[in-house]
């Protein structure tokens, strides 16, 4: 049983799982903020636009459904845009913290006589048979 608990602990505390959990919580909180912005600022504008359409003979039910749909659509677009920008910034920050990779050690060298590529450990060129120091 203790092996099972240790495996579960390793899984739950792995970086990806914790990062995903934080992302879900932040995403939910951000969703509430976007919903508030849409309800307070954007829906009144849409209501005024659709109120003019309702006065022209359309039924109020259609205008209400249109307001709800446009509000949800705008909320989705704003949420997706901001999350895209956050993820893009996080990826850029992650790239900045990466250590540059050291170039691999050379495995070949050039023969000083015939300029052929030869093994780095070679003491004699296989092409021109010159001794290499």
Q: In the prediction, which pLDDT does 100 show?
A: 76
Burial of 19 (0-12, 13-18, 19+ CB in 10 A): exposed
Domain range summary for the chain, segments of one domain joined by +: 2-97, 103-133
Q: Which band of pLDDT confidence, cut at 50, 70 and 90, is reported for residue 106?
A: confident
Both tokens of 114, joined, read 């015939």
Q: Which band of pLDDT confidence, cut at 50, 70 and 90, is reported for residue 68?
A: confident
Q: Are 34 and 75 in contact (CB under 8 A)?
A: yes
2-97 CATH fold: 1.10.1200
Sequence-ordered list of residues with C-beta below 8 angstroms from that of 18, at least 6 positions apart, any chain: 12
Which three-class secondary structure state does DSSP give residue 103?
coil
Q: Residue 21 belongs to what H/E stretch?
A: helix 15-37
* Of the candidate ranges 49-53, 63-67, 92-96, the one whose mean pLDDT is the lowest: 49-53
Q: Are 66 and 48 in contact (CB under 8 A)?
A: no
Neighbours of 34 (CB within 10 A): 20
CA gyration radius for the chain?
Answer: 32
Residue 119 clears pLDDT 80, i.e. is over it: yes
pLDDT digits (tens, 9 = 90+) for 7-45: 877 776 666 766 777 778 777 887 888 888 888 887 788
User: ∠14-19-21 over CA atoms, to 5°?
Assistant: 100
């Amino acid at each position: 049983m203790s092996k099972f608990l240790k495996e579960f602990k390793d899984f739950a505390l792995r970086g990806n799982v914790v990062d995903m959990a934080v992302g879900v919580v932040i995403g939910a909180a951000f969703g509430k903020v976007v919903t508030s912005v849409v309800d307070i600022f954007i829906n009144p504008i849409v209501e005024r636009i659709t109120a003019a359409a309702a006065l022209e003979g359309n039924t109020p039910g259609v205008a209400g459904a249109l307001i709800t749909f446009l509000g949800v659509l705008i909320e989705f677009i704003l949420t997706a845009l901001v999350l895209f920008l956050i993820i893009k910034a996080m990826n850029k920050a992650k790239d900045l913290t990466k250590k540059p990779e050291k170039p691999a050690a050379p495995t070949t060298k050039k023969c000083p006589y015939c300029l052929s590529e030869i093994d780095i450990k070679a003491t004699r060129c296989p092409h021109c048979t010159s001794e290499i120091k």
